[in-house]
Chains A and B, each alone.
Chain A
Amino acid sequence: MFTTRRGLLVGAAVLTAAGCTRETAHIITSDADLTAALRTARTLAAAGDALGYGDFAEDHRTHAATLERLLKPNVVAEEIGELPADAAALAEAESAGSKEAGDACLSTDSDYAVVLGEIAACRAAHAAVLA
């Protein structure tokens, strides 16, 4: 009996020292909606700059900076796809980006509904002005 209890205590001490206690694991996952919004913001910013809409590009950079902060410690690699060729194509891209963020706003159960809604509204305003 004494030996068993001592063995148990020693075993517990060894496990604790080795970090094998039942601490709840905290896995940090990236939010898919925010990640998609970030990728689109980067593409729209690059497109705005390329087509001479610097003030709209700045809006997208502001979104990107906010989304990067919300996604930390995850880092989303920079991947800029094909850019719209002219203002009409940029308006379409803004409109599609607005729908993407709006759909995410409606489906999310996270605290990010408002920021996604703001991004959707901003992109909708850009699309309307460009159209």
Chain B
Amino acid sequence: MTVVDTGLAAEYAAIYAYSAAAVHLDGDPRWIAEELEAEHRSRRDALLDFYDEHGLEAAPSLAGYDIEPIADAAGAQRLLLAVETNVTTAWRAGVASTEPRDREICLRMYGDAAVALARWRIAVGESAADPWPGRPE
């Protein structure tokens, strides 16, 4: 499994989580969640194009992903914060690749993921500041 495979899997899982969580949200968090879900879908499509361009085979998304049960808006917000953090962490790890092609796409995806993480933090009332986005604690 390559670093790009890992990132693509994280994007698939994010799309699944957003589709389950967004319905529990209202107001600003709801529309921001819808925008971020669309961004994950765009990133997935860009990644599938990357696989095509390089003659690689992309793994398909799974039928389901293991997510925490969502009881209310607070639970949905927590889940999506964890999802954005996971996606950012996955792409950050790919930047260490010594394969230039992989490092380049991982860096691009990592920057986009860090932006999404910052936007979601603001949406749920947290500071967007984070010197090392996605760095495991």
> Which of B88, B115, B127 has the most CB atoms of chain A within a 10 A radius of its CB?
B115
User: Is B103 within 8 A of A105, CB to CB?
Assistant: yes
B55 lies within 8 A of chain A by Cβ: no
One digit per residue, 1 when the CB lies within 8 angstroms of any chain A CB and 0 when it does not, for chain B 115-134 equals: 10111001000011111111
One digit per residue, 1 when the CB lies within 8 angstroms of any chain B CB and 0 when it does not, for chain A 62-84 equals: 11000000000000000000000
What is the CA–CA distance of A126 and B119 in the complex, to the nearest angstrom?
A: 10
Binding stretch for chain B, among A6-14, A19-27, A29-37, A111-119:
A111-119
Q: In the complex, which residues of chain B have a beta carbon less than 8 angstroms from the beta carbon of A91?
A: none
Q: How large is the interface on A (under 10, 10 to 19, 20 to 34, 35 or more residues)?
A: 20 to 34
Task: Return the chain B residue nearest A109 by Cβ.
Answer: B98
User: Is B103 within 8 A of A106, CB to CB?
Assistant: yes
User: Is A121 within 8 A of B119, CB to CB?
Assistant: no
A58 lies within 8 A of chain B by Cβ: yes
Determine the main DSSP class of A at the interface with B: helix
Q: In the complex, which residues of chain B have a beta carbon less than 8 angstroms from the beta carbon of A105?
A: 95, 103, 107
Q: In the complex, which residues of chain A have a beta carbon less than 8 angstroms from the beta carbon of B128?
A: 55, 125-126, 129
A51 lies within 8 A of chain B by Cβ: no
On B, residues with C-beta under 8 Å from A are: 88, 92, 95-96, 100, 103-104, 107, 110-111, 113-115, 117-119, 122, 127-135
Please list the 6 inter-chain residue pairs (A to B) with the smallest Cβ-Cβ separation, ordered nearest first. Answer: A121-B114, A55-B129, A117-B95, A125-B118, A62-B131, A59-B131
Besides A106-B100, A125-B114, 15 more A-B contacts (Cβ < 8 Å) are: A56-B129, A59-B129, A62-B131, A63-B131, A102-B111, A105-B103, A113-B103, A117-B107, A118-B135, A120-B107, A121-B113, A121-B114, A128-B119, A129-B118, A129-B119
On A, residues with C-beta under 8 Å from B are: 55-56, 58-60, 62-63, 98, 102, 105-106, 113-114, 117-118, 120-122, 124-126, 128-129
